[in-house]
Amino acid sequence: MTNSVFYRIGLPVLVGVVLVATWQLMSNFGMINEIMIPSPAAIVVGFSELVTRGYFWDSTWVTLQETLYGFAIGVTLGLIIGALTGTFQTFRTAFYPFVIAFQNTPRVALAPIFLTWFGFGITSKVVMAAVICFFPVVINTVAGMASVDDNAKMLFRTMGASKSQTFFRLTLPGASAIAFAGVKTALTLALLGAIVAEFVGGSVGLGVLIKELNFQLEVAKAFSVVLFLAVIGLVLYGLIELLERYLITWKQD
Amino acid sequence: MSTFSIASTTGETIRLAGVSKTYETASGPLPVLRDINLQVEAGEFISFVGPSGCGKSTLLKIIAGLVSYDTGTVEVGDQKPKAGREDIGFMLQQSVLMPWLDVSKNVELPFVIARRQDVSTSRRVEELLDLVGLSSVASLNPWELSGGMQQRVALARALALDPGIMLMDEPFSALDEFKREYLNIEVAQMADQLGKTTLLVTHSIGEAVLMSDRIIALGANPGRTVGDIAVDLERPRRADMIGTDQYQQICNEVRAALASDLAGEML
């Protein structure tokens, strides 16, 4: 039963359909204020209008660029710093307390500062996305490296493995499953960072578009952009999951 | 498993004289081995049995060069112990297979680490997998194998560089009784035919008797020799020897050696 297609796919689809239908009916019967919460039908109409506008696709492209550049920079730096922290005790002692301290500060608060430093263009958004997705990658990489089996390390010693052989043939692949979980979290956070930075100050992007539509009381369209962002997030997450399956084939172990 | 026809380096001698070891712990010094003297002949199969904390695994790690010793002398094939020697194969309680490598790549790993890969490596890996009866699963992933099969892969990997000495630290303890007994016989026969000097650490007296030429019983706190019992069961060893009087008698001898030490500790 729990393995059937209906249970795994049909059940959540059914729940979604019931929720949307209930929402639509409540709107039709005036039980929900449409100005505050537009009906599903109004959101679909609003979205169909938006997709015909060039600025919608320009905004989408800019937000995607900010997210992916920020993700690439944050993940690259996170993996490097994480690997250094996990490998060198002195590096860990010197820098890791700052990583932990910074991890626990609300990093979105940096968005106005980045705006001052890097201006209203794409750079401030990329930096925000990179900073926000850097930490889970560092922390998961360190945790992944710490999780490598002591017996495996001993076995490598018995085989006379050099430090670099142990790192590339044991520590790196051994840490990759946990490190990749951080990379997956980072992708979602990168989108969040880009949107927050656009809210704080920007001229183009889906975050800017949501803000402007809200000011114009085009709430249905604003809702549709939020849902579109959810779809973008899901697609990106699906792609990173595919990459994980390709790279970490042994995860089912 | 097939008959053991692959080329084999013969065993090497091991000598320990007055070896002691104390670990420094947070609660003070912890002596684990005291005055261990042992002469292992080339090709001999020796088992160490004793209660937890008697230093069996530490002794094996000293011989492998993984742990230093405080006093005494150790000679492994006329050299001092050193980690990473190609003439020593090591097997642990867990198979410790790399899940990102398939079975044949796991067996090939010692060649890669030793930078000794050449045109003959893949043939050697095939021979080793044939030796442990796993030729048909060479391309499978480790997690697709049973616990017993995983330990066979670990055995093939330990034999990869054709070492003269095999060190085995409770390699069968995670297996069920049936698989354990089966592998005991297979490994004993293999050690016979390949002529390796083999040291086995085990908690099982029966396993030690079934496989070894000699059993060193170790007392605990600190670990020291309390018995050196010859096993004169005929070779090759067979499963039906387990029920014989001779087998039981040797088991009782080992048990008595260990019990005398435990009794002393209880008093």
Rounded to an integer, the average pLDDT of A106-115 is: 89
- The answer to whether B98 contacts chain A (CB < 8 Å) is yes
Query: Is there a contact between A149 and B96 if contact means CB atoms under 8 Å apart?
Result: yes
- Compute and round to an integer the Cα radius of gyration of chain B: 18
Q: Is the pLDDT of residue B189 over 50?
A: yes
Q: Which of A150, A151, A153, A155 to mutate to test the interface with B (most CBs of B within 10 A)?
A: A155
Backbone angles phi, psi at A54, to 5 degrees: -60, -35
pLDDT at res. B7:
56
**Which residues of chain A lie closer than 8 angstroms to B86, CB-CB?**
160
Query: Is there a contact between B141 and A170 if contact means CB atoms under 8 Å apart?
Result: no
Distance CA B137, CA B156 (A): 13
Read off the DSSP letter of residue B11.
P
pLDDT digits (tens, 9 = 90+) for B226-258: 999 999 999 888 889 998 999 999 999 999 999
Q: Is the pLDDT of residue A8 over 90?
A: no
Q: Is the pLDDT of residue B185 over 70?
A: yes
Q: Of A74, A4, A43, give the one whose Cα is nearest residue A231.
A: A43
**Which residues of chain A lie closer than 8 angstroms to B92, CB-CB?**
151, 154-155
pLDDT at res. B141:
93
pLDDT at res. B267:
47
Rounded to an integer, the average pLDDT of A172-185 is: 94
Q: Is the pLDDT of residue B4 over 80?
A: no
Spell out the residues 6+ positions from residue B209 whose beta carbon is closer than 8 angstroms to its own: B215, B231, B233, B247, B250, B251, B254
Give A104's pLDDT tier (boundaries 50, 70, 90): confident
Phi-psi region of B170 (alpha: psi -120 to 50; beta: other; left: phi over 0): left
Q: For the complex shown, is ipTM > 0.90? A: no
- Rounded percentage of chain A residues whose pLDDT exceeds 70: 98
pLDDT at res. B89:
93
Q: Of A196, A83, A68, A192, give the one whose Cα is nearest residue A137.
A: A83
Distance CA A175, CA A22 (A): 46
pLDDT at res. B154:
95
Rounded to an integer, the average pLDDT of A64-80 is: 96
pLDDT digits (tens, 9 = 90+) for A16-52: 999 999 999 998 988 888 888 899 999 999 999 999 9
Give B109's pLDDT tier (boundaries 50, 70, 90): very high
pLDDT digits (tens, 9 = 90+) for B139-171: 999 999 998 899 999 999 999 999 999 999 999
Q: Is the pLDDT of residue A253 over 60?
A: no
**Which residues of chain B lie closer than 8 angstroms to A152, CB-CB?**
96, 98
Tell me the β-bridge partners of B14: B40, B76
Q: Say which amino acid occupies B11.
A: G
Chain A nearest C-alpha distance from B96 (Å): 6
Q: Of B161, B180, B187, give the one whose Cα is nearest residue B107.
A: B161
**Which residues of chain A lie closer than 8 angstroms to B94, CB-CB?**
149, 151
Q: Which of A147, A154, A159 to mutate to test the interface with B (most CBs of B within 10 A)?
A: A159
